[in-house]
Structure 1
Amino acid sequence: MTYACILTDQQDITKQRLAHVERPPLAEGQARLRLQNFALTANNVTYASTGFVIGYWQFFPSGIEGAGIVPVWGTAQVTESRAPHLPVGTRLYGFYPMAEELVLTPQADSAGVYLDQTPHRAELPQVYNTYVEVQTTKPETEHLRALLQPLLATSYLLFDWLIDNACFGAQQIIIGSASSKTGLGLCKFLAEPVDRRYRIIGLTSAANHGFVESLGACDHTLTYDQVEALEKIPSIYVDMAGNASVKSRLHHHLGENVKYSAAVGTSHWDQFAAPSDLPGAKPRFFFAPSQIAKRRADWGPGVIEGQITQAWKRIAADASTWLDLRAHCGLQAALTVYGDLARGDAQPRDGHVITLVD
C-alpha cells in the first residue's frame, strides 16, 4: 500500500513533484492519521528555504537523497491506532507533512493534547511536536485555524518579545513585507497598546502598498523603493521577507540607529544572502519557540499558550475584511499554490487551504 506526498528539491525549492511512497506498518503505541486540510502560505516557503539552517527538513524525512517534505499546519483524523489513549476517529490539529498521512507515536500530555514521541523528532522544539484534539466544526473555522493560528502566533510572540525587551529603546518599528499575514498580525498587535511610544512603519512592494495602507495597522507605509525616506531615529527592523538588498539599504541608511535587526521569514528567499559588514545591530534570526520556552520558564506552562490563543482569535475576528479564503481540493492543487507562493506570485488577500477528500 502507498500514499501520496509532495517532494521538494532541496537545492531548488520551486521544484516539487507528487510521489507515492510505501505506507509503513504501525508499531505498538503508534497511530496513523489521514490529513483532511492544511494551509499554504509564505511560511511554508520559509520552512523550505531554511530547511537545513533551522532544521525543518528533519521533521518528516523523505528518505530520498536531495528531496524534502515541506511541513504544513492543518487537521488530520486517526484512521488506525495501536495507541490505546488515541482512538480511531480522533481529529488533531498540528504540524504535518505535505502529504496524505502521517504516523505518530503519541503520548498524552494533558486533556486533548498529545506529544509525538517519534525518535527522530525528540530533540526538535516541542511546539512542533504538539497535537491538539479538535471537534468537527465549520469548514471556514477550520480553514482560518490552519491559516492564521501559526502565523498570528508568530506575530504575537514577536510582539511579546519586543515588549519583553522594551523595544530595545527604539522609537520606530519597521516591518518588512508588512503585507504578509505574519507582518500584518505584528502591525496589528503593535498598534493595540494605547500608551505605546513607538511608531509602526510598514515596508512593502509598490503593488501591495494600497492593501497595507487600507488596513490602518501602520502609522506610515513605505514601498521598498522608499527605504531612504525612513526617519533616522532609533529603530528596530523586523524582516519577514529576507530580501538582502532591502536589508542592506535600510542598515546603511539608518546606520547605528538600527538597535535590533530581526530576521523572521524568507519569502524573498531568492534574494536572501548572508549579511556582512552592515552598520548598526547585526541581523539575528527570531525563533518563535525560544520565546515560548522563555515565557513558560517565566510564567509556568499554559500561560503564554493561552495568550497566543486569545491573541490570534482576536485578530482573526475581522479576517473577512482583509482575507479571502481560497479552498483547493487535492495534493495536485497544492503544487500550483506552493509554486505561486515560492515565485512571489500570490496575492496578499488570498488565504489558501488544501482539502483532502477520499
Structure 2
Amino acid sequence: MNQVLVDQAKITEAELTEAAAADLQDGQVRLKLESFAITTNNVTYAATGFVIGYWKFFSSGVDGKGIVPVWGVARVSESRCEAVPEGARLYGFYPMAEELIIAPEQSTAAVYVDTSSHRADLPLVYNTYVTVRGGSAEEDYKRALLQPLLATSYLLFDWLMDNDWFGAEQIIVGSASSKTGLGLCKFLAEPDSRPYRIVGLTGQRNRDFVEATGACDQVLSYEEIDTLAQVPSVYVDMAGNAAVKKRLHTRLEEHLRHSAAVGTSHWDQFAPPAPDLPGPKPQFFFAPEQVRKRREDWGPGVIEAQITAGWKRISADAGEWLDVVVHEGLEAAVGVYRDIARGRSNPREGHVIRL
C-alpha cells in the first residue's frame, strides 16, 4: 500500500512511501480510495497537527512524519462487517493513501461511524462516513473540494448569527480568496437585511478574483488595512498571518468586538498572538464545537441538514469561481500538496487526486 508522508517539522516536504497492508479483523472493512481533494485546508491540518490532533487520525508508523487527512470517496473492497457490503462507496475523512481500514458502526441507514479505538476521543464529524449512491465523478470531486470547506463557512456564519454578529457593523474576512473565506462571504451576503458590511482581505494578486465573485461589499489588499473603517468590527482570520493580525488589531483597537482564528492559509507567517496585541485576544473557532452546541439547541440532525443545504446552495454556481483540476495517481498528490503548502496555488483551482 502506498501513502504520502509529510515531514511534521517542515510541512512543505512530502514523499510517497510504501507500507505493508494490514490484515482485516472481524467487524472491519477495507476502503480503497477512488478520489480525494487537496486544498489549503489540508495544509492547515498539517500546520495544526499537534495542537488540534490531526496527526492522531492515521498513524504513519514513522517517527517525525505524519499522514495528512483528506476528504474523499472510497469503495469497500473487503468487508468483515455485516452492516457494510463490499462495493459500497463512502464519503468521509481519509488518509492521503491508497486505502484505509475502519471499524464501522451504523448510525443511520446511510451513515457509519468509525469505532476504531485510536479515534474514540476525536470529534465525531471526522469519524463519520456517508454512503454515496449514484452521482457522477464530477459530483464526487465537487463534494470533496467544497463540502468540508463550505461546512466550516456555514458554521462560522451560524456562530456569528448566534452571537448577534457581536454588534459589528463590518465583518472582515481574512484570506477571502480561500474557499472557506469566500464561502463565508457568500453566506454573510445572503440575508436580505443585515446590520454589517462584508470586507474581504486578500493578497494583491488575488484581489481581482475576490472582487469578481461579488461576495463582498469591499475588497482590500493586506497593504490597505490602514484604510479600514474604524467602526464596530469582527475579524475572521483564515490566514493566521501574525503581521496582518497585528496591523488590523492596531488599526481597529477598541472598535474590534471579536477576533476569530480559523485557519492558517499563511501558516508560514503564523505566530502566537503577542501579549501586547491591541484589542480583544484572538479566540480559536473550532467548527465541531458549534455543531455540538446546535445539536444541544435543536436536537440531532437539524444543523447537519442546514449545513448540507447551505453548501449545496453556495456550490450551485461554483463553475463561475472554481476550476476543478484532476490529477492521476497518488504520486501526483506529492507535488500538488507541496505547491499548495508553498503558496503556489491559484484560488480558482480545486485540485483532485484520482486513484
Matches within 5 A, 1:301-316: 301-316=300-315
- SS at structure 2 position matched to 1:22: coil
Q: What's the offset of the Cα at 1:93?
A: 0.2
CA distance in 2, matches of 1:30, 1:138: 27
Q: What is the CA–CA distance in structure 2 between the aligned matches of 1:211 and 1:267, rounded to whole Å?
A: 17
Give the Cα–Cα distance (whole angstroms) in 2 for the partners of residues 229 and 160 of structure 1: 28
Aligned residue for 2:343? 344
Match of 1:115 in 2: 113
Q: Which residue of 2 aligns with 1:159?
A: 157
User: What residue is the counterpart of 1:284 in the other structure?
Assistant: 283
Q: 1:38 is aligned with what amino acid?
A: F
- Distance across 1 between alignment mates of 2:138 and 2:62: 36
Q: Distance in 2 between matches of 1:74 and 1:135?
A: 14
Please state whether the residue corresponding to 2:37 is helix, strand or coil. Answer: strand
- Tell me the residue number matched to 1:51: 49
The one-letter amino acid of 1:308's match is: I
In the superposition, the TM-score normalised over structure 2's length comes to: 0.99
Which residue among 24, 27, 34 is the counterpart of 1:26?
24
Structure 2 CA distance, aligned partners of 1:284 and 1:345?
Answer: 28
Q: 2:180 aligns with which of 179, 182, 189?
A: 182
Helix, strand or coil at the partner of 2:52 = coil
Shift of 1:288: 0.3
Question: Equivalent residue for 2:267?
Answer: 269
| Deviation at residue 256 of structure 1 after TM alignment | 1.3
Return the alpha-carbon distance in structure 2 between the equivalents of residues 72 and 257 of structure 1.
38
Separation in structure 2 between the aligned mates of residue 336 and residue 29 of structure 1, nearest angstrom: 36
Tell me the CA shift for residue 50 of structure 1: 0.2
Q: Alpha-carbon deviations, 1:17-48, whole Å to 9, x = none?
A: 10100111111100100000000000000000
Q: Distance in 2 between matches of 1:256 and 1:125?
A: 35
Note the C-alpha offset of 1:136: 3.3
Equivalent in the alignment of 1:240: 238
**What secondary structure, in the 3-state scheme, does the structure 2 residue paired with 1:193 have?**
coil
Residue in structure 2 matched with residue 14 of structure 1 by the alignment: 12
The separation in 2 between residues aligned to 1:200 and 1:125, in whole angstroms, is 31
The 3-state SS of whatever aligns with 1:137 is coil
Bigger mean CA offset, 257-266 vs 96-105: 257-266
Equivalent in the alignment of 2:319? 320
- State the secondary structure of the residue aligned to 1:95: strand
CA distance in structure 2 between the partners assigned to 1:256 and 1:295 by the alignment: 30
Partner of residue 293, structure 1: 292
Measure the CA separation in 2 of the matches of 1:335 and 1:62.
Answer: 16
Deviations 1:86-138 (A, max 9, x none): 11000000000000000000000001100000000000000000000001321
Shift of 1:162: 0.1
Alpha-carbon offset, residue 281 of structure 1 = 1.1
SS of the equivalent of 1:79 reads strand
Identity %: 64
Report the Cα distance in structure 2 between the residues aligned to 1:124 and 1:221, rounded to whole angstroms. Answer: 37
* Structure 2 gap ranges (5+): none
Q: Residue type matched to 1:28 in 2? A: D
| Paired residue type of 1:263 | A
Question: Aligned equivalents of 2:168 and 2:279: distance in 1?
Answer: 13
Q: CA RMSD of the aligned region, Å? A: 0.6
Q: Report the Cα distance in structure 2 between the residues aligned to 1:24 and 1:333, rounded to whole angstroms.
A: 24
> After superposition, what is the alpha-carbon deviation per residue over 1:331-350, rounded to whole angstroms, capped at 9, x for unaligned?
11111111111011100000
**Distance in 1 of aligned mates of 2:212 and 2:32:** 40
Q: Which residue of 1 aligns with 2:96?
A: 98
How much does 1:280 deviate? 1.0
CA distance in 1, matches of 2:232, 2:167: 7
Alignment of 1:209-220 (within 5 A): 209-220=207-218
Deviation at 1:279, TM superposition (A): 1.1
| 2: CA distance, partners of 1:236 / 1:344 | 26
Alignment of 1:138-153 (within 5 A): 138-153=136-151
Provide TM-score, normalisation by structure 1. Answer: 0.98
Q: CA deviation at 1:260?
A: 0.7
Quote the residue 2:128 is aligned against: 130
Q: CA deviation at 1:140?
A: 1.1
Query: Secondary structure of 2:229's match?
Result: coil
Partner of 2:353: 354
Q: 2:98 & 2:283 partners in 1: Cα distance? A: 35
1: distance between equivalents of 2:251 and 2:299?
A: 42
Q: Distance in 1 between matches of 2:204 and 2:124?
A: 39
CA distance in 1, matches of 2:339, 2:254: 37
Partner of 2:330: 331
* Secondary structure of residue in 1 paired with 2:85: coil
How far apart, in 2, do the equivalents of 1:4 and 1:51 lie?
21
Q: Give, as a single letter, the amino acid of the residue that structure 2 aligns with 1:338.
A: Y
Q: Distance in 1 between matches of 2:110 and 2:251?
A: 50
4+ residue runs over 4 A deviation: none
